[in-house]
Amino acid sequence: MRILVINGPNLNMLGKREPEIYGTTTLLEIEKALFEYSKTFSGVELKFFQSNLEGEIVEKIQNALGVFDGILINPAAYTHTSVAIADAIKAVNLPAVEIHLSNIQSREDFRKNSFTASACIGQIAGFGKDSYLAALFCLVKHLEKQK
């Protein structure tokens, strides 16, 4: 099964960015950890994409149709603003899991609402790098049930 991993704005700055909230792990280290973890499942292939631009993320999701079986997405700040990304996930109708490094429910009020979560099959937040690994586990289990 082919899984597209999308990271939104400012996540390319992980490692340097607000380490007290997001830790010191870089995006490349997260992607490597996901890649290693993906080998523990049979036949799972990952492709990674990061963009700071909403339209690019929308296009990537649209182009996933017929190519990928599922999506892991940390929409970052677009979580709280983007009807367009939510609509794109609904449009392709691929199972997607929303990921956050931080626990968005325990932060500022504006982070508590997610526009994108309602388009996803679930959301995992608050476990740093492990949020990504847990999301991969859950998506693979979901896709296996669909077979």
User: Which of the residues 37, 78, 80, 100 is marked catalytic?
Assistant: 100
* Of 5 and 101, CB closest to ligand DQA: 101
Cα–Cα distance for residue pair 105/71, rounded to 1 Å: 22
Count of residues that bind ligand DQA according to CB under 6 A: 10
74 lines the binding site for ligand DQA (CB under 6 A): yes
- Give DSSP secondary structure letters for 96-146: EEEEESS-GGGS-GGGT--SSGGGSSEEEESSTHHHHHHHHHHHHHHHHHH
Cα–Cα distance for residue pair 78/135, rounded to 1 Å: 19
Stretch near ligand DQA under the rule CB under 6 A, chosen from 35-43, 54-62, 94-102, 132-140 = 94-102
Please pick, from the candidates 5, 72, 76, 85, the single residue that binds ligand DQA as defined by CB under 6 A: 76
10 lines the binding site for ligand DQA (CB under 6 A): yes
The answer to whether 5 and 48 are in contact (CB under 8 A) is yes
Q: Which residues pair with 98 in a beta bridge?
A: 73, 123
The torsion angles phi and psi of 142, rounded to 5 degrees, stand at -60, -45
Stretch near ligand DQA under the rule CB under 6 A, chosen from 27-35, 49-57, 72-80, 116-124 = 72-80
User: Which of the residues 22, 37, 78, 132 is marked catalytic?
Assistant: 22
Q: What residues make contact with ligand DQA under the rule CB under 6 A?
A: 10, 74, 76-77, 79, 100-102, 104, 111
